Amino acid sequence: MGWDNSRPVPWQRLIREWLVYAAIMSAVFVIFFRGGNVVGAIAGVLVSGPLYLGFGAVMAKFGYQRQRLKDVRAKPAETAETSDSRETSTRSKPAPTSRTAGGGNRPKSATKRRR
């Protein structure tokens, strides 16, 4: 897809996602880097905000729209229901082969002994 100025940018969603990321990463940095340079790590997280928003806006203008977790979770349940009903109605039993004991390569019975 090409660039389209009329495509909307989901600013609220981008900001909300970045705020969640920033909060989690700041907490991780504070916990793991207690004696180190926590200020520099948190400053790096804050600098990532405009970069994330800018990249997200450009991707939205190109037509990229990330699926929500709600949509991702609902999709496998729908496809499982439809695929189960299709498979049972159109799929037939495969032909027997030598590996499924339907072929002619069966072992001789134990009653006939060779000497």
Highest-confidence range of 13-27, 34-48, 90-104, by mean pLDDT? Answer: 13-27
Confidence of residue 21 (pLDDT cuts 50, 70, 90): very high
Confidence of residue 82 (pLDDT cuts 50, 70, 90): low
Tokens 């705020």 found at: 19
Q: How far apart are CA 64 and CA 34, in angstroms?
A: 39
pLDDT value of residue 114: 65
Give CA torsion, residues 99, 102, 104, 107, to 10 deg: 70
